[in-house]
Each structure stands twice: as structure tokens, then as C-alpha cells.
Amino acid sequence: MADSSSVGLLRGLYDYHWWANHRLFGTVRALGEETARREVGKQFSSPTLKGMFAHLYGADFIWLSRWQGVPTGRLMGDGDFATLAELRSRWDRLEAEQKAFVEGLTPADLDRVVSYKNTEGKALAPPLWQVLQHVPNHATHHRSEIATMLTMISGSPADSGIATYTNEIAGR
């Protein structure tokens, strides 16, 4: 039976987040490094697929640091990773840290205030539960951009929606 507690729902949301990131990343990796570096369009948050994934990594990294109370630097991006393989390797390590953090959550943790400065230097102090929800939600926006980019390059990618994920893990 699924854990429908607040912590359980957040863990499930992160399991989906990691699954969807891997699903689309695998599609891009199969297309190759050259395709991942090709500019698709300036209307996207980053004009290349590699840049989009680098942004997702950078956001995951900065938010984990904030949850842990560690000061963050600039948001990492495309130029911080020479190849998709390097990005994937670093992302795998980051995901392991995220998983340990999310698995260690207790209900009492969710109301803890997370004090940080955003990328514009503004001081903010929301509760942990809000910023935990933000990360997968933010990634969904960018994954939809990646899916659109993939459609423009090579046809529609495999579905990465949450219903597909829940059906897959349930064996349906």
C-alpha cells in the first residue's frame, strides 16, 4: 500500500522526478553528443538539450544545498559539463544525496524554515515542504521544453508524465 502521508507523497514525487529525468536524458544520450549540443531554439530556457539538462542539474544542486543549509554559489549550467557522460556522472552522485535527504525526512522536518538568498540576492525563508515541492514542479516545466525540443529534432519522445510513471511502477 502506498504511503499517503505528507512525507510519503513527497518521496513519491521525487521518485517520479528522478524517473522522468532519467527517461528523457536517456533519449537525448541515444541521439548523441552532437545533437545534444545543437541549438534548437532561443525560445527555450536554454537553446540546447545539453543546456536544458545542465540547468536541471544546477537547480537540483542548488536546492539540495539550501535544504542542507549550505551556502550556494551561482547556478551551474551548460559550460560546467564537457560531455553528457560527465553531466550524468555528477547527476547520479547528486541524486544519491537527494535520495538520502528525502528518505531521511520526518513529518516534523517539513515545517523547518529554509533560509537562503535566491540567485538575485533576495533573502527568503519558506518552509521546507514548499521548496521540496518546487524542485519537481520546476523540472516538469523544463522537461516539457525538452520534450518539445526532442519533437522538433527527432519526433515525440517517450511519455514522461506521472500517470505513465505510476502505471509503469505498478506493472500496468
Q: How far apart are CA 89 and CA 103, in angstroms?
A: 21
The model's pLDDT over 120-161, given as tens digits with 9 standing for 90+, comes to 889 999 999 999 999 999 999 999 999 999 999 988 888 999
DSSP character for 42? T
Rounded to 5 degrees, φ, ψ at 121 are 90, 5
Query: 108: which residues sit within 8 A by CB, 6+ positions away?
Result: none
End-to-end, the C-alpha distance of the chain in Å comes to 16
Q: How far apart are CA 84 and CA 57, in angstroms?
A: 12
pLDDT at 19 over 80: yes
DSSP string, 94-130: HHHHHHHHHHT--GGGGG-B--EE-TTS-EE--BHHH
Q: Return the CATH superfamily for domain 6-169.
A: dinb family like domain (1.20.120.450)
pTM, to two decimals: 0.93
- Give residue limits of the domains in the chain: 6-169
